[in-house]
Every structure is written in C-alpha cells, then in structure tokens.
C-alpha cells in the first residue's frame, strides 16, 4: 500500500499543486464566501464559515510565488485564533482573531499587487491575482464592518434581530453587502453609516477601492503596451 511519502499519493499531489492551481482554489473559495455564504441560513453560515476560512488561509498562502516563513507563521496563528474564538466565544479572542485575520489578508493583498507589478507579462496568474486582490479587499472590509456592527449596533441603520439569549445577531450578508457596495462606489443608500467614525471608514473603503482599480489597470495596460513596443533597430 502506498504511503503518504509516495509521490503519487493523492494527498501529496494536493499539497504540491502549482501556484496557479492554488490561486484558482482561492478564487473559488472567495466567490463562495462573498456570493453564496451570506445567503445561506444563519445556522449553515455558522457551521461552514470556519471551514471556508480555513481554506482561505491555506489557499492564500500556497497561491503566493514566494512562501515567506513569517507570513506562514502568521497564517497559522490567525487560523488557530479563529478556531478558538469560534469555540469559546470570548470577546478578547474574537477581537484578536479578527485583527490577525485582517493583518494576514492585507499582507496577502500587498503580495498579490507586488506579483502583478513584477510579472513580466500578463497571463492567467496575473489576472487571477488582480481579481483575488479586489475580492480580498472587500472581504477584509466586511470583517471590519461585521465587527463594528457587533460591538456598536447603532453605528449603522440596520435593525438587529435577537436570538433566544437576547444577543444581537449580525448577519454576514449585511457586512459583505455594505463593504462591496461602498468599494464599488454604488452608493445605494439602503445601509447607512450613522456615526462619524463609520462614515469616515465608508469614505476610506470608497477611495481605496478606486485607487486599487486605478493602480491595477495602470499596471496591466503598461504591461500590454510594453509588449507592443517594437524593438529599436541596432
């Protein structure tokens, strides 16, 4: 019987997927997290969110060209804190886990932008990196917004529902929806920030979203233009 050290073992093949294949896994997981998970029933969200975020952590790490050891350690710590916060539901654990998750995903976004900037030409990996960076940015903002809604229910004009223990329930769809609507500057106005710091944060989301698009488009156009410039005759 073949062991896990066998190069043909399915687990070994899975762990040693290429950067592009891990990038596709990350993209699919992001699409599920942003578009499908928020519309699922609340109990399903609670049961599947930890698994989904686990896949996000590891696919984000393995999709990078350079596996930086410090970033890998940060991902493991953030992953463990996220699970501990989900099990024990202690305020300090929840706050620390969200902070570590935000820091980790922000670093991944910066690394994705760097990969796009340093790529010699536009290919599938560059396109995937551009899309994943934008989706990850919206996901990071949704973590912030969900935390604010949980700690300060009056910060947004969202009626809070309550469970059997009279604890306010913040729905994932509201934080994700507000983050991406603000990121894309749609401004529907159905969810409004009511306090100065949340309004300031909404402005930051809007500005950073436009800056990201401007930077990525400039990089991609520059790479296409450089390929079409004829070589100078010697």
- Per the structure, the count of domains in the chain is 1
Helix (H, G, I), strand (E, B) or coil at 196: helix
Tell me the per-residue pLDDT of 120-136, one tens digit each, with 9 for 90 and over. 888 888 888 999 999 99
Bigger pLDDT: 207 or 4?
207
Domain range for residue 83? 14-227
| Closest residue by Cα to residue 222 from 135, 118, 129 | 118
Instruction: Tell me, yes or no, whether 210 lies in a domain.
Output: yes
Buried b (16+ CB within 10 A) or exposed e, 180-198: bbbbeeeeeeebebeeeeb
CATH number at residue 205: 1.10.287.70
Instruction: Tell me, yes or no, whether 102 lies in a domain.
Output: yes
Instruction: Tell me, yes or no, whether 9 lies in a domain.
Output: no
Tell me the per-residue pLDDT of 86-112, one tens digit each, with 9 for 90 and over. 777 778 888 888 899 899 999 999 999
Instruction: Tell me, yes or no, whether 7 lies in a domain.
Output: no
Instruction: Tell me, yes or no, whether 234 lies in a domain.
Output: no
pTM (two decimals): 0.83
Instruction: Tell me, yes or no, whether 74 lies in a domain.
Output: yes
């Amino acid at each position: 019987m073949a062991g896990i050290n066998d190069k043909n073992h399915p687990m070994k093949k899975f762990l040693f997927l290429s950067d592009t294949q891990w990038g596709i896994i990350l993209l699919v997981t992001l699409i599920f997290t942003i578009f499908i998970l928020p519309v699922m029933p609340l109990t399903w969200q609670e049961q599947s969110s930890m698994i989904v975020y686990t896949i996000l952590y590891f696919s984000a790490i393995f999709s990078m060209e350079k596996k930086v050891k410090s970033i890998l350690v940060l991902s493991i710590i953030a992953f463990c804190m996220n699970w501990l916060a989900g099990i024990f539901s202690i305020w300090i654990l929840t706050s620390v886990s969200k902070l570590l998750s935000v820091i980790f995903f922000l670093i991944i976004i910066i690394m994705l932008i760097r990969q796009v900037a340093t790529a010699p030409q536009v290919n599938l990996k560059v396109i995937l990196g551009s899309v994943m960076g934008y989706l990850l940015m919206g996901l990071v903002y949704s973590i912030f917004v969900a935390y604010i809604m949980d700690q300060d229910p009056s910060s947004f004009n969202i009626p809070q529902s309550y469970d059997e223990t009279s604890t306010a329930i913040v729905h994932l769809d509201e934080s994700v929806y507000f983050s991406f609507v603000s990121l894309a500057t749609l401004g529907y106005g159905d969810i409004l920030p009511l306090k100065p710091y949340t309004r300031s944060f909404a402005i930051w989301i809007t500005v950073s979203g436009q800056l990201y698009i401007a930077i990525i488009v400039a990089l991609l156009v520059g790479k296409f233009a450089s390929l079409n410039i004829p070589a100078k005759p010697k």
